[in-house]
Structure 1
């Protein structure tokens, strides 16, 4: 990492208290004291249940050259401390400074209510065939994760594919100033985090701040999303979607229990594409990637190969088969849109009885009753045979289903043991089990218990 003490002080507006040459270079920047190596800079950030300042001494014991600190903390005067007003602001300012060292790197910022991680992984797989590419690791897409991703840039990097997620108003403009993407992709607009934004239009306008509105930068938006299409005022916009035909046309979308197939017509050539995932929402994600890759001049064969090789992330439509039972672990997160997408997937799989194990959707605020009732309406219209509710607010959805569709058998479980017992009684011949809930509900643990206790995995 090419960053000196002088550059750090300059970018964070810090006051140095220690004994070191201003030309000393750090090796890396860390926020976890346990991951510190000799020569690193430690940045103590504050979380809900911890304060990184409590671990500054540990960071130095592990070999840190320097540490940031809020000015109000009275620390050991013998340490190489850089005092700043706010360590999170300083982390972001440092990332902005570091990003500006790499004008040659093309940066693609990706946001959206659903699908941004999938698009990131697909685009990384496609670009990697022709370029040296960095990407967001895991889900480091917020106010801390984005700066940490920026610090991975190096002289060999051609492209950075970076997720930019927001939970509160005002967050995207901060990320935009750090990242300053050359390109942006917005997958869709849904009601995730709506409790913090009041309405879906505010969510849309927040996400549209991902990129500067100039002729140099380019944004790719989903034209199937009416709210996004209506609110977008960006000068240099490229649309992707099922009805867009500027670059290519798609047709004949089909799926089996683990893959999706469709035809793509491009310059009078017809190509068969096989996706290692299910659902029209993932076809939409592919359309974003193909549109971008063709627009920057990539070869179609290379693009298709990259898409077909992409690897799904854990807990995102993870499909496993145990005899006649298909288990779909889609527990990474949940929203009205993602539940609707997941239901459309299993509606199109012919594998007997369909069982949905559903938990709470978080961060709905005063919209909880309205959205949970809408979830219930969607389930009532689906091909679900059995619904197992395990949560609090999601009971509103179950009540709506009872009112709308008396053919769906509804169970309200109060423990994992009860869920297992319900499944033992309900699993007969062929069936599909779908698990869906917000991340905080930890439904991945339920998926593990099902595999262990019902299928001895």
Structure 2
């Protein structure tokens, strides 16, 4: 973004006496601020960004916003006075989006948003200029910041859209105005706020609210809860494991390099990705569909998928110093994704012995005990041992204690016992799945086994 301060004032419909100032980005954090940024001070429970405005200008910020009800705006600094800094950020992003010629892809879903975002970006990037959501900048603050960070000549923009309640995806969609929208799946995350999986489906479908008139929706056709929403939506394309989907997948095989698979329907072809897990193969299907929309050939798609790069901790292969393999899937966890990961580790033949380390699944609401206990059905004799971490995993431990015959350990808040047990049992012929919600930080279990 390269705009004059007068243009930004025009976006915000405010008057300014400032002239001759060029703004080349926005920042809400003085630690990551770059020269030329417009600094946006937010007020939170524990901090007030207005206290750092002078420091931001001294650090190179071109100008700053200042909220009207904040007292004593410094008269010697280049400031734009606004009624609400958060709304001003969003209006700036809305105005900039309206000027962009880029094709925008919006992605939501209970699980797999980030992986799908990475796969879509990876398949397009060798052939077009692509930018995507960085980290977890996928909410009402993060998404506008992402839009305002876009280069004006970007061809494709891949935006992740997260939520915790009704209306949030609608707001993000109407702000971003996607040309293509993707719903990866409907899981159980945010059950405590949305009440049911039906509620989650309704909230995720809000992504079509801002879909451009010519736009298309790609959705998980294996999810029956989405069917009532898509039956009257003419520009909807289904993908999934089921043969009735418009793009389906079969013959999934785990390899030393990741996964190979066949797709059928809109295109019949064989592809491979450097990632493990059937659920990651499914996340690849909307990437293939969008690549076809972009005009890529089958061979171009195959070549770019083969070199796809996913954010760490998504079925990430981590070789241990002793020859073991850790499968780091510890970025997040919900019943659907945990069962998918357990299914993979049970069925894989990449190593002779297999272990699972599972951490609490968070934000599941009043049924969280049942969701944890139900994981027992996905744990079988193929696993030599299971380690459980977190207070909620005690429910699964009690369930397994009467049925599971392998090595079993539960630790409420200490990684030490799990690490000690793994050190005694994990060798060069062992694969270890590590899966838990982000708040459980299960990657700490892996750290003692690498880089020694």
With normalisation by structure 1, the TM-score equals 0.90
For 1:120, the equivalent position in structure 2 comes to: 117
Tell me if the contact between 1:107 and 1:162 (Cα under 8 Å) persists in the aligned partners.
yes
The corresponding residue for 1:359 is 359
Aligned mates of 2:30, 2:261 — CA distance in 1: 48
Give matches, 1:188-337, under 5 Å: 188-212=185-209, 215-232=213-230, 233-244=232-243, 250-264=249-263, 271-322=269-320, 323-337=322-336
Does the residue aligned with 1:211 lie in a helix, a strand or coil?
Answer: helix
Give the SS at the match of 2:450.
Answer: helix
* Aligned mates of 2:448, 2:155 — CA distance in 1: 43
Q: Distance in 1 between matches of 2:12 and 2:400?
A: 54
Q: How far has the Cα of 1:184 moved from its partner? A: 0.4
Task: Give deviations 1:65-107, integer Å, cap 9, x for gaps.
Answer: 32112222213232222232322222111100111011x2211
Alpha-carbon distance, 1:113 to partner: 1.2
Question: Residues 43-442 of structure 1: matches in 2 within 5 Å?
Answer: 43-47=40-44, 49-74=46-71, 75-102=73-100, 104-212=101-209, 215-232=213-230, 233-244=232-243, 250-264=249-263, 271-322=269-320, 323-350=322-349, 351-379=351-379, 381=380, 383-403=382-402, 405-413=403-411, 414-427=413-426, 430-442=429-441
Report the Cα offset of residue 46 of structure 1.
Answer: 4.1
Using a 3 Å threshold, how does the CA distance of structure 1 residues 48 and 315 change in structure 2: closer, same or farther?
farther
Provide the rounded CA distance (Å) in 1 between the counterparts of 2:225 and 2:415.
39
Pairwise CA distance, 1:38: 3.4
Report how far residue 280 of structure 1 moved.
1.3
Residues 71 and 248 (structure 1), Cα distance of their counterparts in 2 relative to 1, 3 Å cut? closer
Deviations 1:245-293 (A, max 9, x none): 78666432211354212234679x9743222111211121122221222
Call closer, same or farther: CA 1:49–1:376 in 2, change over 3 Å.
farther
**Aligned residues of 1:256 and 1:349 also touching (Cα < 8 A):** no
CA distance in structure 2 between the partners assigned to 1:80 and 1:214 by the alignment: 37
- Deviation of 1:26 after TM superposition, in Å, equals 1.1
SS in 1 for 2:23: coil
Within 1, Cα distance between the matches of 2:347 and 2:355? 14
Aligned mates of 2:443, 2:66 — CA distance in 1: 37
Q: Contact (CA 8 Å) 2:221, 2:245: kept in 1 or not? A: no
Please, which runs of 5 or more residues in structure 2 have no aligned partner? none
Q: Displacement of 1:234 after TM fit?
A: 2.8
Shift of residue 221, structure 1, vs aligned partner: 0.7
- Tell me: CA distance 1:248–1:83, structure 2 relative to 1, closer, same or farther (3 Å): closer
Matched residues in 2 for 1:331 and 1:111: separation?
19
Question: 2:177·2:212 contact (CA, 8 Å) conserved in 1?
Answer: no
Unaligned 5+ residue runs, structure 1? none
Deviation string 1:281-339 (CA, Å, 9 cap, x unpaired) is: 11211222212222443211111111111012111112123344221111111111111
Question: Matched residues in 2 for 1:305 and 1:100: separation?
Answer: 33
2:276–2:316: 8 Å Cα contact kept in structure 1? Answer: no
- RMSD of aligned residue pairs (Cα, Å): 2.5
Deviations along 1:417-450, one digit per CA (max 9) or x if unpaired, are: 2222212233366222121111122222232134
Match of 2:99, SS state, is coil
